[in-house]
Structure 1
Amino acid sequence: MDWDKLRIFHAVAAAGSLTHAGDVLHLSQSAVSRQIRALEESLGATLFHRHARGLILTEQGELLFDATAAMAKRLDTAAARIRDSEEEVFGELRVTTTVGFGTLWLAPRLTKFYEQYPDLNIDLMLEERVLDLPMREADVAIRMKEPSQADLIRKRLMSVHMRLYASPGYVERVGVPEKVEDLGNYRLISQNVTATQAGAGAQLIQNLWAYDIPSRLMVNNYFGVLQAVLNDLGIGVLPKYLVDEFPQLIRVLPEVESTEIPVFLAYPEELRQSRRIAAFRDFVQDEIMAHRRKLRDTGLYD
């Protein structure tokens, strides 16, 4: 099968348009169309349905696109490994983690990382959805639970707990609950139990809701929960690693916390020898150790 035609087919299928694919490939629309027709003739199958709004893959086209997508991922992996020299760290590193961890813990520390590796470009993808590392949607992930995907190297970084926190302004205005049964008199800010999050966090929230709390604010990530707490809206369910950066927040009901939530760094087995991955992994581990030392020195580590 002609590799060049497959490359053009993949671009058309990804773009859904001959014109857009031509722009990406720097080919004319007619040249792209000829290559697609030639590929269809060689396979004896129609790969696209044509209509006014663009192109839609046929069943046979879907099968071929799955194959070319897998090929593209493998080629990306090979190119990444080739780019990793024995002496230098450069190229692109795609990192995925949650909005809260990435925004408040990781991003502020990247200044130091770029000072060490100025030729490395990071694509930081912050979302609660778990990206598919084996299919190379990202190179490395930091997640609040052990990844279940196969063919991954996993490194446990630390453990965190979900706790209750409020701002000084909110406490001054409405006071603090003395026991968990008093939460019905306060506004609770949390993620929804159906949102993508660590199971231990969802269990804690579900347990708190059982106390008939009429006033709630639900946000789909912990960064939003934190912002609401900082702005005096109520008592928030937050992971301790976020609150470490905001020591003015007051812990409410110290006896209430989730079970242990493990934090893992993971990356595909095929990137085991990647110097970009190793540099990032070592940097994150060093920063976690430095953060722990800082908390111990200030008496905030527990």
Structure 2
Amino acid sequence: MNGPDWSDYQAFLAIARSGQLARAASTAGVNPTTMGRRLRRLEAKLGATLFEQTRNGQELTEAGESLLVAVEAMAAAAADIPETSGEGDGLSGTLRISVSEGFGSWFLARHVPRFREANPQLTLDLVANSGFLSPSRREADIAVMLSRPKVGPLTARKLSDYALRLYASPDYLAGREMPERPSDLVSGHVLVGYIPDLLYAPELRYLDEIHPGLAATIRSSSITAQRRLIANGAGIGVLPCFMAEGDERLVSVLPERRITRSFWIVTHQDTRQLARVRAFNQWLHESVRTYRHQLLPGT
């Protein structure tokens, strides 16, 4: 009997990373029937059950856990082949970067084209939404997160601090008294913020740091939507300075009440030495140093 095809191993890896057969099929661009057939073929050739079906999807068996280590090493080696196959052509392959919505949409979106121009053979996937893909599950090559992960086979390095302040629009403030102290926000003002039970990171709880008990009455899971609401006169809200400074539609409120958070750059231990991962890490650290004034105004 011939050994398993590499496509079968790729199917196994996709299911292991996503935890769901249907999600893995969607990511791979095949239908779930094809993905399931590849998995059954691999299990038959190996003589082992690799997943258990649970309410939440597929969970690795002990045999699956052992195979995952070997297949991830194979995938990492395969991913590195095009990077070293030619001289002077720059990086190639695909680099998937998971970032918070604000950092991805407002900071990286401004600067990442320079990295891509230097590496025209490289495909960049910029996943900027509410939540993070997991480097430990190989859902992303790099993640820029709001805290340092405490578990997993990961390498984490602090990228930068960044500042946040309260902002409002001139239209909203027209006819209202400008708040002079945090307690002025308790009544007489509309606050814009996150939906508490949809927060994907505790670092996004801001209003209690401004004044205990403050609560938003116009809420969104999207920081981009919050920014637009504030700019359109809906109320006062906390925004990262890199999203708000320089916009004439936004005015700083209680500017002395500055909140500081941090970005951490996270990679899997097994893939952090890939050329494209190393190159992007270096480029991102250099870009953050160059544009530090956008992240931390006044420094």
TM-score class, shorter-chain normalisation, is 0.7 to 0.9
In structure 1, the residue corresponding to 2:98 is in which secondary structure? strand
Partner of 1:236: 237
- Select the residue among 177, 184, 200 that pairs with 1:196: 200
Greater alpha carbon shift after TM alignment, 122-131 vs 2-11: 2-11
Greater alpha carbon shift after TM alignment, 147-156 vs 65-74: 65-74
Partner of 1:53: none
**1:175-227: CA deviation from partner (whole Å, max 9, x where unpaired):** 4212211112111111234412353x41x3234574565x6112113222212
TM-score by length of 2: 0.75
Give the paired residue count: 279
Whether contact under 8 Å (2:167, 2:238) holds in the other structure is yes
**1:50-72: CA deviation from partner (whole Å, max 9, x where unpaired):** xxxxxx97x9x855555555554
Does residue 153 in structure 1 map to residue 150 in structure 2? no
Task: Map residues 167-206 of structure 1 onto 2, 5 A cutoff.
Answer: 167-183=169-185, 184-194=187-197, 195-199=199-203, 201-202=204-205, 204-206=206-208
Partner of 2:298: 301
CA 1:241–1:197 in 2, change beyond 3 Å: closer, same or farther? farther
What letter corresponds to residue 149 of structure 2 in structure 1?
P
Whether contact under 8 Å (1:193, 1:205) holds in the other structure is no
Does residue 84 in structure 1 map to residue 83 in structure 2? yes
Partner of 2:18: none
Whether contact under 8 Å (1:133, 1:267) holds in the other structure is yes
Task: Map residues 29-178 of structure 1 onto 2, 5 A cutoff.
Answer: 35=41, 39=45, 42=47, 71-85=70-84, 88-178=90-180
Partner of 1:52: none
> Per-residue deviation at 1:135?
2.3
Whether contact under 8 Å (2:210, 2:257) holds in the other structure is no
> Per-residue deviation at 1:253?
1.2
Whether contact under 8 Å (2:231, 2:249) holds in the other structure is no
Whether contact under 8 Å (2:50, 2:64) holds in the other structure is no
> Per-residue deviation at 1:21?
6.0
RMSD: 3.8
Whether contact under 8 Å (2:50, 2:63) holds in the other structure is no
CA 1:140–1:35 in 2, change beyond 3 Å: closer, same or farther? closer
Structure number with greater Rg is 1
Q: Partners in 2 of 1:216 and 1:146 — Cα distance?
A: 31
In structure 1, the residue corresponding to 2:81 is in which secondary structure? helix
Whether contact under 8 Å (2:191, 2:218) holds in the other structure is yes
Q: Partners in 1 of 2:140 and 2:62 — Cα distance?
A: 23
Whether contact under 8 Å (1:77, 1:271) holds in the other structure is yes
CA 1:245–1:228 in 2, change beyond 3 Å: closer, same or farther? same
CA 1:72–1:128 in 2, change beyond 3 Å: closer, same or farther? farther
In structure 2, the residue corresponding to 1:83 is in which secondary structure? coil
In structure 1, the residue corresponding to 2:151 is in which secondary structure? coil
User: Matched residues, percent identical?
Assistant: 23
What letter corresponds to residue 194 of structure 2 in structure 1?
Q
Does residue 277 in structure 1 map to residue 277 in structure 2? yes
Q: Partners in 2 of 1:152 and 1:212 — Cα distance?
A: 36
